Chains A and B, each alone.
Chain A
Amino acid sequence: MPLLVDKHRPRSLEALHYHEGLSQRLKALANSGDFPHLLIYGPSGAGKKTRIVATLKELYGPGAEKIRIDSRIFTTTSNRKIEFNIVSSNYHLEITPSDVGTYDRVVIQSLLKETAQTQQVDTSAKQRFKVVVINEAEHLSRDAQAALRRTMEKYSPNLRLILVANSTANIIPPIKSRTLLVRVSAPTEGEIEGILKYTAGLEGLEYREALGRRIAKDSGRNLRKALLMLEAVYAQNEIVKDDTPIPPPDYEALISQIADEVLAEHTPARIMQVRSKFYDLLTHCIPATVILKLLTFRLIEKCDDALKADVIKWSAFYEHRLHSGSKVIFHLEAFVAKFMRILEGYLMGMVDF
């Protein structure tokens, strides 16, 4: 059985629930016959992908929904073979170049050129160009982005790009100046409530206003998460009441537990205990940034106002270290140690730490 998120994902621009203005614009652009390169950015769970799929449908009709997965092999300049998965329909390709790490430039160059140099095979297609959707564009290496620059201009009759990114910080200015930037902001809590209610209605679930409000608040304006939470609540409880507890995802529960332990005792022995939990999280592929961020906010909730700025400062510091270092566990532990130090120092009445 598919998840609610996938089952009720809107498939056309008309069916989208919020950001009506944006949907109108995308629709107008898709119908104008002069579709620009797009750079779509926004936080996760805001509906970027949903909008892209809907736009593709608007561009090409239902044919764009028939997708298949191909595996292709590219050869790098040093004769290394890399395998790369491409999701494609007759009209568009979808790639995640960051999968291949530093070799993304090779993939971008060969794949885009190949696509751009062939015309649309299907002569009855609505558009003459093909669309290439590039996921996680913010993780593209500088080289790959530089390779995109001229390609975007040179092959514009046959090729349109849609770049998807969580933030535009790592996208080089020449790319930004060649694309139409589209910001998809996260839905507000009110909008999430509306969608939860609507989805519950479709599923024939008994919707509770207060519960919906709590889910919307806990989701952090992430619609995907909100829907998953809704589904979890209804799956785990026979009768859902206003005050039914919302089961947090396992990793969040574990992180809360870590936070409590750290707050309770400030000793090296406790760091050792916490370490095994960190390893547990890491081996389950929870990104270190997520762990650190959640842990920080859990700790912040429970410590004194005077400490908050400092905790954030060090959290930001170690979060940066996560990215420049290679072994994440060191930095997670260092943060915990630092936090204990700050807290202990504060409790002992020391000013300088």
Chain B
Amino acid sequence: MSFFDLKARRAAAATAAKDAVPSTSAKDTTRTVPWVEKYRPKSLSDVTAQDHTITVLKRTLQSSNLPHMLFYGPPGTGKTSTVLALAKELYGPDLMKSRVLELNASDERGISIVRDKIKNFARTSVSNATTSQSSAYPCPPYKIIILDEADSMTQDAQSALRRTMETYSKITRFCLICNYVTRIIDPLASRCSKFRFKPLDAGSAEERLREICEKEGVRCEDGVIEELIKVAEGDLRRAITYLQSAAKLHNPNGITIEGDQQEDEGDRMDVDDAGQGSEVVTVRSIQEIAGVVPDDVVEQLLKACEPKKGRSVYTEVAKIVEDMVADGWNAGQILVQLYNILVYDDVVTADQKNEIVLLFSEVDKRLADGSDEHLQILDLALRISAVLAK
């Protein structure tokens, strides 16, 4: 083929592209999509464990009259998923692009954006749905603006929204999503109907995780799911991410079962001293991924804190704290775990608990301010020890 023969080259390029694209792209998308996105609920009925909210929303779907909405609740409870599913059910995939504007904290959201972008989008009149679209979906005559992570918007930007929300309420509905409802200024909050998303209960979280395990072919040790739920504290997204990370660690080449995989496995077993266990997700690996300090380390520290007769606890405590810091354990995590043990410890009297809880709050504040972890944990341990000695 001549280099200058443009037509032929173009044709060749086109065929090459045609050959190449589908195979790679198909493979890549399945491989690189995080499970959190892959298993995002597709419809409102898929959303787990938010019965109250979902029933209310479904009812509004039928009447196709939507109020402004404010979704709030801890992370990973399905706020974004719900609103996306809602939008999809309202408009269907085609119309969604033109009818829904999604803005989140990664977009610039200062007051100028509220004035320009949001206002412009809110102002545009709604395009008519084609008959094919409106037959399949309700396609109500308004648009939706989703402001994700609205609590990170500045006060000014929020107040700039106030009038906009009212003026264009005929053709635009707002949906604000946030973790802390207190960060949303009152005038905005009072314009929305609020939906609280509660942390997922263990039962529904477990069901969801088991389903994912089954679909992805992840084999888990007993107790892994329970541990996941425990460390995630009601945050399903975190649980799923941890699960995916753990699955990746144990079975990095994806879940292909047959063929050449077999040989690889042989190699890996030699290098990985977990041997057979390299395929099964273990409780320990979940803890490691979640950054949980092993129980025995924490207990060791507590034991050292116990008052000794006649001599100071300092040397022992200092040594253990030093090791903990050098091992890179997160101070916040140590704090939480110590707290959980001490507060539920029956030997510690109520008065002592009072004092200890005060200590925890103080040290937590200091850590949040960015203080040195080593000194603070050492201080905490020594002061706990002093309280216990009383």
How distant is the Cα of A305 from the Cα of B248 in the complex, in angstroms? 49
Q: Which of B60-68, B215-223, B346-354, B375-383 lies at the interface? A: B375-383
User: What B residues does A296 contact at CB under 8 A?
Assistant: 375
- 7 pairs of A and B residues whose beta carbons are closest in the complex: A316-B379, A28-B252, A305-B312, A42-B328, A177-B238, A32-B252, A186-B326
Instruction: Say whether B332 contacts A169, CB under 8 Å.
Output: yes
User: What A residues does B148 contact at CB under 8 A?
Assistant: 150
Q: Does B185 contact A (CB under 8 A)?
A: no
How distant is the Cα of A324 from the Cα of B362 in the complex, in angstroms? 14
Residues of A within 8 A of B (CB): 21, 24-25, 28-29, 31-34, 36, 41-43, 46, 77, 109, 113, 128, 138, 142-143, 146-151, 153-154, 156-157, 167-170, 173-174, 176-178, 180-181, 183-186, 220-221, 289, 292-293, 296, 300, 305-306, 308-309, 312-313, 315-317, 319-320, 322-324
The distance from the CB of A229 to the nearest CB of chain B, in whole angstroms, is 17
A32: contacting residue among B29, B149, B254, B374, CB under 8 A: B254
User: What A residues does B28 contact at CB under 8 A?
Assistant: 128, 157
Q: Does B341 contact A (CB under 8 A)?
A: no
Instruction: Say whether B368 contacts A170, CB under 8 Å.
Output: yes
State which residues 231-290 of B face A: CB under 8 Å: 232, 235, 237-238, 241, 244-245, 248-249, 252-254, 268, 271-273, 288-290
Q: Does B34 contact A (CB under 8 A)?
A: yes
User: What A residues does B106 contact at CB under 8 A?
Assistant: 109, 113, 146-151, 154
User: What B residues does A186 contact at CB under 8 A?
Assistant: 326-328
Instruction: Say whether B385 contacts A309, CB under 8 Å.
Output: yes
How distant is the Cα of A13 from the Cα of B235 in the complex, in angstroms? 34
Instruction: Say whether B328 contacts A31, CB under 8 Å.
Output: no
Instruction: Say whether A169 contacts B331, CB under 8 Å.
Output: yes
Instruction: Say whether A319 contacts B248, CB under 8 Å.
Output: no
The CB with the most chain A CB atoms within 10 A, among B237, B248, B385, is that of B248
Given A156-B33, A174-B75, 8 additional A-B pairs, CB 8 A? A32-B253, A33-B254, A143-B152, A173-B238, A300-B318, A308-B312, A315-B379, A323-B371
The distance from the CB of B54 to the nearest CB of chain A, in whole angstroms, is 23
In the complex, residue of chain A having the shortest beta-carbon distance to the beta carbon of B103: A150
Instruction: Say whether B248 contacts A167, CB under 8 Å.
Output: no
How distant is the Cα of A315 from the Cα of B371 in the complex, in angstroms? 11
User: What A residues does B39 contact at CB under 8 A?
Assistant: none
Q: Does B296 contact A (CB under 8 A)?
A: no
Contact flags (1/0) for B22-45 with A, using CB distance below 8 Å? 000000110111101100000000
How distant is the Cα of A173 from the Cα of B336 in the complex, in angstroms? 14
Instruction: Say whether A312 contacts B379, CB under 8 Å.
Output: yes
A309: contacting residue among B31, B37, B249, B383, CB under 8 A: B383
Given contacts A36-B245, A186-B328, contact A316 B369 (CB under 8 A): no
How distant is the Cα of A180 from the Cα of B288 in the complex, in angstroms? 10
The distance from the CB of B300 to the nearest CB of chain A, in whole angstroms, is 16
How distant is the Cα of A240 from the Cα of B305 in the complex, in angstroms? 42
A312: contacting residue among B327, B333, B375, CB under 8 A: B375
Interchain residue pairs with CB less than 8 A apart (7): A34-B31, A176-B291, A184-B328, A185-B328, A305-B311, A305-B314, A312-B375
How distant is the Cα of A186 from the Cα of B326 in the complex, in angstroms? 5
Instruction: Say whether A24 contacts B272, CB under 8 Å.
Output: yes
Instruction: Say whether B271 contacts A319, CB under 8 Å.
Output: no
User: What B residues does A42 contact at CB under 8 A?
Assistant: 328
Q: Does B370 contact A (CB under 8 A)?
A: yes
In the complex, residue of chain A having the shortest beta-carbon distance to the beta carbon of B377: A316
How distant is the Cα of A300 from the Cα of B321 in the complex, in angstroms? 15
User: What B residues does A143 contact at CB under 8 A?
Assistant: 105, 152
Instruction: Say whether B110 contacts A77, CB under 8 Å.
Output: yes
Q: Does B367 contact A (CB under 8 A)?
A: yes
How distant is the Cα of A145 from the Cα of B254 in the complex, in angstroms? 30
The distance from the CB of B349 to the nearest CB of chain A, in whole angstroms, is 20
Q: Does B104 contact A (CB under 8 A)?
A: yes
Q: Does B366 contact A (CB under 8 A)?
A: yes
How distant is the Cα of A29 from the Cα of B367 in the complex, in angstroms? 32
The distance from the CB of A88 to the nearest CB of chain B, in whole angstroms, is 21
Q: Does B76 contact A (CB under 8 A)?
A: yes
Instruction: Say whether B382 contacts A181, CB under 8 Å.
Output: no
How distant is the Cα of A199 from the Cα of B135 in the complex, in angstroms? 74
Given contacts A31-B252, A312-B382, contact A177 B76 (CB under 8 A): yes
Q: Does B330 contact A (CB under 8 A)?
A: yes
User: What A residues does B33 contact at CB under 8 A?
Assistant: 156
User: What B residues does A181 contact at CB under 8 A?
Assistant: 289-291
In the complex, residue of chain A having the shortest beta-carbon distance to the beta carbon of B312: A305
The distance from the CB of A259 to the nearest CB of chain B, in whole angstroms, is 16
In the complex, residue of chain A having the shortest beta-carbon distance to the beta carbon of B74: A173
Given contacts A221-B326, A305-B312, contact A316 B376 (CB under 8 A): yes
User: What A residues does B388 contact at CB under 8 A?
Assistant: none
The CB with the most chain B CB atoms within 10 A, among A157, A186, A300, A316, is that of A316
